[in-house]
């Protein structure tokens, strides 16, 4: 099943669905960063932020990374991570809502 296709109309440059091992399950888009790099780095960030989240009596659920020109929206769903790269100034809220919709589907994997 293709989970990420619904992100294309929002102008997402790159999106990935990965496991916590950092291997790409599904990818959308082209260009930089390569899907394999994005998946590995997002999974690594989740793993490294987990001790801090646990110290706060919680778990990593979502985070955003911003650069001068792009933003990465990431959402953890159990043992999976969804991530989307967008250009700064795009509708983060709409992309975030779509990631949440996809997450509900992924929960049933």
| pLDDT tens track for 34-51 | 999 999 999 999 999 999
> Does residue 18 carry a pLDDT above 80?
yes
Strand order in the sheet with 62-66: 24-29, 14-19, 80-87, 70-77, 62-66
| pLDDT tens track for 65-93 | 999 999 999 999 999 999 999 999 999 99
- Report the DSSP beta bridge partners of residue 85: 14, 72
Q: Which fold has domain 11-106?
A: Beta-Lactamase (3.30.450)
> Does residue 1 carry a pLDDT above 80?
no
pTM of the model: 0.92
């Amino acid at each position: 099943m293709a989970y990420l296709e619904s992100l294309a109309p929002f102008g997402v440059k790159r999106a990935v669905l990965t496991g916590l091992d950092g291997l790409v399950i599904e990818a959308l888009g082209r260009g930089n960063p390569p899907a394999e790099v994005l998946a590995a780095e997002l999974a690594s960030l989740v793993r490294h932020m987990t001790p801090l989240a646990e110290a706060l009596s919680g778990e990593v659920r979502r985070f955003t990374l911003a650069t001068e020109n792009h933003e990465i929206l990431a959402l953890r769903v159990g043992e999976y991570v969804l991530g989307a790269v967008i250009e700064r100034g795009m509708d983060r809220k709409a992309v975030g809502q779509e990631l949440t919709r996809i997450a509900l589907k992924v929960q049933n994997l």
